[in-house]
Chains A and B, each alone.
Chain A
């Protein structure tokens, strides 16, 4: 029974998991120290975190529930626009902007999820693509509100006040990186809790064998809808951070090509691993940054890498390290 395996795997020795956690967090916390030495720059790390969070959000749906959405950029973009619109038109407050954007993207996903939750497989994916493009279309046509094709501008990160302390993230750079990392940490902790909860177990059960899960009394449609909805919230949160990173929100943040990037990051890093999408995002962002500086034909290289990953490394980087049946 899949649930037994799931339960057993979750109880496997915590030592290895602790080591992995310590390693990952050490690396993330010390980025400003070692990244410039290796030819990177802090904004690159910020981008990795943002995309990594978005991909991890998607992975709740894709890797843990086994449902493919190819339109998640829509919620990412809604988060970005939500944050941007708040900062521009409503109030100059970063926390509120983040909240507003997350809610906008999350609610959008929740409502849409209700419509398509009965579909499966390829049709589900097609609907997510089409729906994502709808938002893209709205963003670039609604000139007066969203800035249209040129994107939403004239807003920027505001310093955050914690009582007497003020965290000035307007300048970007290291303070902003740690701000991103803090939000990332909170989000990831929430995700981990979710994944290890009974709810998370039902998702994995659905992934393994939907029919059996149904026989066990699991309300499959509802769980899928919940999983979809929650994953959209996380991806939307990543979107708000993206708007803060760029001080800009533009329609390409909603386009299906970005959705595709998220899926690739997830697959490349390993769909079944919790940290897989972050690893995938790191590899992808760095590769793209690097290859596009080398040659104007970077799209061919990236495309070939996608194809190779799909054909020869379907379990992704972290997937090769995992034991079979690990969750």
Chain B
């Protein structure tokens, strides 16, 4: 039964679905595909609606672009690839439900997701239970490849440890050791601040800071406190909208004349949404499009722009890498079986046209984290083009910033 499902079958649902009335479920016939190759299905769950939608959409764009590219070049293991995208709506129940749907009903071989770390974690419990290969493209919380690591889960984006450890030496070198933190009061914020503090105190720094509600809109009280403390650097750990507001108020108060501004992530999608005076500060990019010295990147960016009319951000790259990772693992394992894919991916190094950055980029065997480079640099108003809002000052190898596997707390248990 499972062999004959296709996306066309779902489309015929609509007519039947409208006659829903008192029936409990929609009925729809299945259409048998032409005998021959049936596609490899990859399920992607991301919050396409809700506060994270801009980032999620970029990941989906990158994955879709990779899907088209893969299919043009023969697919994976000779079969076409089909990407099924579901909206988790930034809600755990929905994310878990969609994951089950993709696995039970659509019989996908691989799961991607979620930008929201909580949902990514809940999904990983389902994929672990069902032994399905799972890549987390953009969910940042450390335990996913740390204390809660699982043999079937791999992650593309960085841990907070990597991001904080990468930029701290640069900030200390350029500006000084006395820092002030503005941090959102939830797990991700706490782990960011803890990471910074660890890296900072190793270099002998001192700090003070405030924890604020996640949705805080007014930062005046904290900024006044920061001003009185006279730090060298103000660390803006807020996310999304709140990060933008904090930056705006920082510049409105003229504080950029007295201290530097920095933090971990300030993503391209977010930078473009702030007025020019708030496009400032020192940040990490988990991938950056403007790498003139790497020919594969130049080629990728121009082709991506031609196809999608936008410049790829780190999130686009996450989606792109995730798809190609499946191909690479499948080619090495010669199978789509979960445990074999996972085994093949350990210590697998990405080729330059997938890694799209200098150096060795591999999935570390001990914790399944991708050891990508971290691009440390400064944000600024656009110079040459609207996307030219960041200048890279230093590229920090992921391995250097990540610390050892033991430090992440991951004890990988092999599949039974």
Contact = CB atoms under 8 A, between A and B. Distances in A.
A216 B89 CA distance: 49
Given A250-B118, A282-B24, A43 B125 contact: no
B100 interface: yes
Interface string B58-90: 000000000000000000000000000011011
A250 B91 contact: yes
For the residues of A in contact with B, the DSSP-based class is: helix
B93 A246 contact: yes
A296 interface: yes
A151 B120 CA distance: 11
A124 interface: no
A296 B49 contact: yes
A293 B93 contact: no
B104 A42 contact: yes
Interface string A165-202: 00000011000000000000000000000000000000
A48 B93 CA distance: 12
A247 B105 contact: no
B21 interface: yes
B187 A149 contact: yes
Interface string B248-278: 0000000000000000000000000000000
Nearest to B30: A39
A309 interface: no
A140 B100 CA distance: 25
Interface in A237-289: 242, 245-248, 250, 252-253, 279, 282-283, 286-287, 289
Interface in B97-154: 97-98, 100-101, 104-105, 117-118, 121-122, 125-126, 129, 141, 148
B187 A299 contact: no
B22 interface: yes
A298 interface: yes
B97 A149 contact: no
A35 interface: yes
Contacts, number: 144
A43 B101 contact: yes
A143 B190 contact: yes
Given A150-B186, A317-B22, A292 B89 contact: yes
Given A27-B24, A250-B92, A143 B105 contact: no
A200 B94 CA distance: 35
Given A143-B185, A149-B187, A153-B118, A292 B105 contact: no
Interface string B1-33: 100010001100110010011101111101000
A147 B26 contact: no
A140 B90 CA distance: 14
Interface string B33-72: 0000000000000001100000000000000000000000
Nearest to B93: A246
Nearest to B123: A248
A151 B9 contact: no
Contacts of A283: 20, 24
Given A143-B186, A151-B92, A242-B93, 17 more contacts: A36-B104, A36-B105, A37-B1, A38-B27, A39-B26, A143-B187, A149-B187, A150-B186, A156-B125, A248-B92, A252-B90, A282-B25, A290-B26, A293-B101, A296-B87, A298-B87, A317-B22
